[in-house]
Structure 1
């Protein structure tokens, strides 16, 4: 980036930190207890310019470098707001880029400015109760009729599902074509035939709502199709690198935050007449966490550079997601261990870092699926999994 880009990045970094400290930190425990964040937060983030950081100005964005959005995700996670990080990743780092890259001018005009202002909250619905990451087994159907498309089916584990105003829905439009029969649709959640199940109760990320969504003969207009019919799987592969960069940013941020908490604790906590941090085991554990973070960041920055050049592949994304999500769980577990019994209490923030991290090896593609993607690239085989 140029000097002016560096200046813009520094400005955004300061603004992101201040916004989180002022608008999120004082209220986050309440939102965790309530299981949802208020819509007013999204509008505040929009007013601060944090929902369209790399969106073109014509759609209400700042036109900054996309890496600043990744920094926002990292900083949200570093401050211990894992639920917000996941919700933000879906809205600002996944759904908005889908619209920008694939949508028609009319679709962009309708949704993006409102999303940048925080007036419309976005979600994306791929996973199904009995299909998971296997897109070829998808049951949700969209069939043409005189008025456009008729949508039937259900999705599960949808982040922002309880509050979303618009959902990108993956549906089969050709049941005989496997993964090549998948199309994407922009679903206005105010339409008849759309409904939500009860909020799914999770072990972590409580402030981020997760829902099951239902489509019962939901009539969509013809222009609800996002991109070309039957190109859904190709679009998913096209956009996955950025989605998984977002997951990597969250992993790096949460590891940095957990390490900072742990360093403070082991310097003050005493056992057997010395600080916990003075034990060789503690020092070696902390050294290992620091080394992992720095190695992980090096590959993350490598992928950011490749993404900026349009060269980051789905295999690169799978390697990044696999390594950083597994590293995150392993290292935050190691940090919690140094807190002893206090680490298992809600009184100490390290416990939230721990439960919030656990989903990282599951969502956005499980570690097992990441290994399958990597292996198939080595063996020259195609994939029907995202």
Structure 2
């Protein structure tokens, strides 16, 4: 494949981050899967090395590196090491930028330094039992009480849910007209009335702590409001393109990881007296997937370049997520099939990739929602073919 356009500094960062994962994270993932959670101190260790949240300016403790390719390196290397269940990017690049884009200077000074060091772990709470991809269907409410909002309701399937110290929480604005009138609130761990349920059991991503949240008359001071009350839905929409690009980088990296370990396995596994890799069916299937992964890599890198230039659209990101989540799943499924019975055993990495990748077509907007976004654009008045 053609050489990718990373800077020398980014290549050096990749090498350092890879060494960190190999020493501090990868060896312990099997135990953390049994525990159902990644220890908090891993966030601290990454933060101490400047490898957790790198985009904040130096005055907040960060490196001031806004180039998304640094986060792309982190996503790729985390997947390469088989450590994708550590949701560091959720903390650093999905939730963290809410403070940059919507927060006041006082909020940035109050929260960002400890987010950079890993002392404070972040999560975002949007999903409810009856409101997933359709956020306008949420039931949680926030009532303006003058100097604070009174928050009531619940959230579910919250990633980093057990570890989280600060949660960006979306709620309907009590008394406001319209399905999209929402407010974003910064809910802190020790606020009275804020509780969390158990660490939820999942079919995959076992080391990723996922929880329910409950809000019973939680008093959230006005200084913990993000953005403009009533505009919370639109604030959330502003971050979805980057969220789907983050997801797409992960799908590609996991898909490539599944391909690589499957390639190693079929070169060693013998069937009918010769390596499985010498069977024509194996070569054809692996050739198809290698080509698809390379082609998708070009598109993802294009989206990263567009994002850095401020031109990443909802349509571009939806295409990346739709295609990538399907590709990751096919690669995981093929990899398990090529492993045969061994692929069904938990001791083989392909089994955890297989179960984890099934979630990719659901979170951050389901595959069906991505098709809806793309299809809506196809039939819009502004649609133009790239050949026009």
Same fold (TM over 0.5): yes
Asked if the contact 1:303–1:312 (Cα under 8 Å) also holds between the matched residues in 2, the reply is: yes
CA RMSD between the two structures: 1.5
Q: Which residue of 1 aligns with 2:69?
A: 67
Q: CA deviation at 1:174?
A: 4.9
Q: What secondary structure, in the 3-state scheme, does the structure 1 residue paired with 2:153 have?
A: strand
Asked if the contact 1:194–1:215 (Cα under 8 Å) also holds between the matched residues in 2, the reply is: yes
Number of equivalenced pairs: 376
2:82, 2:119 → 1: CA distance?
25
Q: CA deviation at 1:146?
A: 3.1
Find out whether 1:108 has 2:112 as its counterpart. Answer: no
Deviates more, 1:56-65 or 1:338-347: 56-65
Q: What secondary structure, in the 3-state scheme, does the structure 1 residue paired with 2:201 have?
A: coil
1:79-136 Cα shifts (integer Å, max 9, x gaps): 211211xx11210111111111111001111111101100000000111011112122
Find out whether 1:161 has 2:156 as its counterpart. Answer: no
Q: Counterparts in 2 of 1:138-153, with a 5 A limit?
A: 138-153=138-153
Q: Which residue of 2 aligns with 1:79?
A: 81
Q: Which residue of 1 aligns with 2:136?
A: 136
Q: Which residue of 1 aligns with 2:336?
A: 336
Q: Counterparts in 2 of 1:206-221, with a 5 A limit?
A: 206-221=206-221
Q: CA deviation at 1:175?
A: 5.3
Q: What secondary structure, in the 3-state scheme, does the structure 2 residue paired with 1:302 have?
A: helix
1:61-93 Cα shifts (integer Å, max 9, x gaps): 112222111220121112211211xx1121011
1:300-320 Cα shifts (integer Å, max 9, x gaps): 011111111111111111111
1:120, 1:109 → 2: CA distance?
13
Asked if the contact 1:174–1:230 (Cα under 8 Å) also holds between the matched residues in 2, the reply is: no
Q: Which residue of 1 aligns with 2:385?
A: none
Q: What secondary structure, in the 3-state scheme, does the structure 1 residue paired with 2:85 have?
A: helix
TM-score, with length taken from structure 2: 0.94
1:343, 1:351 → 2: CA distance?
6
Q: Which residue of 2 aligns with 1:281?
A: 281
1:321, 1:149 → 2: CA distance?
35
Asked if the contact 1:121–1:166 (Cα under 8 Å) also holds between the matched residues in 2, the reply is: yes
1:278, 1:168 → 2: CA distance?
52
1:184-238 Cα shifts (integer Å, max 9, x gaps): 1111121001000111100111111000101000001011110111111221221
Asked if the contact 1:126–1:170 (Cα under 8 Å) also holds between the matched residues in 2, the reply is: yes
Q: What secondary structure, in the 3-state scheme, does the structure 2 residue paired with 1:243 have?
A: helix
Note the residue ranges of structure 2 that are not aligned, 5 or more in a row. 1-5, 382-388
Q: Which residue of 1 aligns with 2:12?
A: 11
Q: CA deviation at 1:176?
A: 4.8
1:352-386 Cα shifts (integer Å, max 9, x gaps): 111111111111111011111222233449xxxxx
Asked if the contact 1:169–1:186 (Cα under 8 Å) also holds between the matched residues in 2, the reply is: yes
2:28, 2:270 → 1: CA distance?
32
Note the residue ranges of structure 1 that are not aligned, 5 or more in a row. 382-386
Cα distance, 1:302–1:181 mapped onto 2, change above 3 Å: same
Asked if the contact 2:36–2:209 (Cα under 8 Å) also holds between the matched residues in 1, the reply is: yes
Q: CA deviation at 1:6?
A: 1.3
2:378, 2:173 → 1: CA distance?
31
Asked if the contact 1:204–1:356 (Cα under 8 Å) also holds between the matched residues in 2, the reply is: yes
Q: What secondary structure, in the 3-state scheme, does the structure 2 residue paired with 1:82 have?
A: coil
Q: CA deviation at 1:147?
A: 3.1
Deviates more, 1:59-68 or 1:189-198: 59-68
Q: Counterparts in 2 of 1:365-380, with a 5 A limit?
A: 365-380=365-380
Q: What secondary structure, in the 3-state scheme, does the structure 2 residue paired with 1:261 have?
A: helix
Q: Which residue of 2 aligns with 1:235?
A: 235
1:120-177 Cα shifts (integer Å, max 9, x gaps): 0000011101111212211010011133100001001100011100000011115554
Q: CA deviation at 1:55?
A: 2.1
Q: CA deviation at 1:178?
A: 3.4
1:327-346 Cα shifts (integer Å, max 9, x gaps): 10011111111000000101
Q: Which residue of 1 aligns with 2:21?
A: 20
Q: What secondary structure, in the 3-state scheme, does the structure 2 residue paired with 1:180 have?
A: coil
Q: CA deviation at 1:260?
A: 1.2
Asked if the contact 1:89–1:243 (Cα under 8 Å) also holds between the matched residues in 2, the reply is: no
Cα distance, 1:177–1:293 mapped onto 2, change above 3 Å: farther
